[in-house]
Amino acid sequence: MAAERFDVLIMGAGLSGIGAAYHLQKHCPNKTYAIIEQRQRIGGTWDLFRYPGVRSDSDMLTMGYSFRPWTSARAIAPGDDIRNYITDTARDEGIDRHIRFRHRIERAAWSSEDAIWTVTASRQEPGGRETPVTFTCNFLLSCAGYYRYGSGYLPEFPDVDRFTGRVVHPQAWPDDLDYAGKRVTIIGSGATAVTLLPALARTAAHVTMLQRSPTYIVSMPEQDRITNALRRVLPNTWACRLGRWKNTAYMIYVYQLAQRFPDFVKAGIIKMIRKELGPEYDVATHFTPRYNPWEQRLCLVPNSDFFRAIKAGRASVVTGQIERFTERGMRLQSGTEIEADIVVTATGLVLQALGGADLAVDGRRVDLGKTLAYKGVMFSGVPNLAAVFGYINASWTLKADLISTYVCRLLNLMDRKDARQVTPRNGHETAVANFVEKFTPGYMQRAVDKWPKQGAKTPWRVHQDYIRDMVSLKWSPVDDGALEFSSPAKAPAKPILAQATGAAK
């Protein structure tokens, strides 16, 4: 079967991928494109995660698209609402017609001689059979997220096979799991665990969150009262824009305050938790992390639901390390026994770049861990490839939007230059830092060697700063001297015409 040919191939039909397609349609209407999605539905993360209580961990005014205001009164939204928002966007903008579902990209190989990516994928057919398919494109944009969809991270627990109850991972939540009236233990203290605890506690006999060490947890109202008030006096679009900027500015302020005065911010968070749980609760043991705020992501809880479940006695937090599993639960190194009917291993993610696809340029395998990140978007020595990686200190979509519009600016400049190839060249720059600095969660540390590095100066720095990225990606000239534009002799001078029915014109 002949390869389907496009100008641009987008990897992933989640929040970032649908947003990228919108910007491509708006700013590069002459480009043909397709979206390759390994799942059966639109939504990405918000289609994958089905565990009880799944919701956003950022406010939807900033996590929603800049071009499509979030209209719900709830700023902290349930997962189903977010997936419906993404699906509605794809339908209303005609993007859903360009998605190839059940396609898992295995390899992408670039030919400088032809200025073409050849993308090999596996398509899942009814009944589970897989068929190899091939696409070609001039530009590849990865919106496949940053973690492995197939399975999450699971440490090796001693004697886990002795446990007679059920063990589940939130990333593969079973539809038939009945936890009503059961004793549930959640292993972990990150965003997933903090979300699960109040949701399970509504019907479970008791929920225990077992953590090796504490995490910073902050409560905020589920609804944005200021934005909702603005909606009563202003058009919804303007109210949402003002709310988006308000929340963005507040996130920047809190992060910068934490960087400059970590002890002050830490004391403020601990004070709020003491107020939530009362003076007799052992906040020092269970809610006082060893690291400074924003060295790992803060966990957000709406309307104090996490703390209310603990105060009501429906849930509890235990801090300690597992020595081994027993038939009825776990024994900790301290000697404490925790009995459980169900154990939920909220132990984290496995990071992977580009959806796990292998990458090659002119027959040579690309090791992303040995490249430098160009503006946090492209990779040194790798032509015509960009990837979306959002913020760790703010909503993911803020940077996803900036990257998508930057890619459109780059594509349009390539057309004006009559160039078919653009490659970041780092010259004499050397790696001096990891892709994300001063960020220490386990899932990031386990994968640090496989991710691109940063150089010492612009444009080889990866900023966790929305304002600086706006200057770099939206307002600064695209042709900054670090990009090499070329047009190989064999490469077609005009955009490739799509052979597939329904491709964008």
What pLDDT digit, counting tens, does each position of 76-91 carry?
A: 999 999 999 999 999 9
pLDDT for 329-367, tens place per residue? Answer: 999 999 999 999 999 999 988 888 899 999 999 999 999
pLDDT in tens, 280-295: 999 999 999 999 999 8
Q: Which domains does the chain have, with CATH numbers?
A: 4-150+351-486 (3.50.50.60), 160-345 (3.50.50.60)
- Predicted pLDDT of residue 505: 26
Q: Which of 373, 403, 378 is nearest to 391 (CA)?
A: 403
Q: What is the structure's pLDDT at 448?
A: 82
What integer pLDDT is reported at residue 492 of this predicted model?
53
pLDDT above 70 coverage of the chain, percent: 96
User: What pLDDT does residue 502 have?
Assistant: 35
Note the pLDDT of residue 447: 81
* Helix/strand/coil (H/E/C) assignment for every residue in 186-216: EECCCHHHHHHHHHHHCCCCEEEEEECCCCC
Of residues 75 and 150, the one with the higher pLDDT is: 75
Mean pLDDT across 452-481 = 94
- The string of DSSP codes covering 14-61 is SHHHHHHHHHHHHH-TT--EEEE-SSSSTTTHHHH--STT-B-SS-HH
Q: Would you say how long the chain is, in residues? A: 505
Q: Say if residue 492 is preceded by a cis peptide, omega within 30 of 0.
A: no
pLDDT tens digit string along 99-152?
999 999 999 999 999 999 999 999 998 887 899 999 999 999 999 988 888 888
Beta-bridged to residue 332, according to DSSP, are 322
Contacts with 489 (C-beta within 8 Å, 6 or more apart), sequence order: none
Backbone CA torsion sign across 491, 492, 497, 500: negative
Average pLDDT, the chain: 92
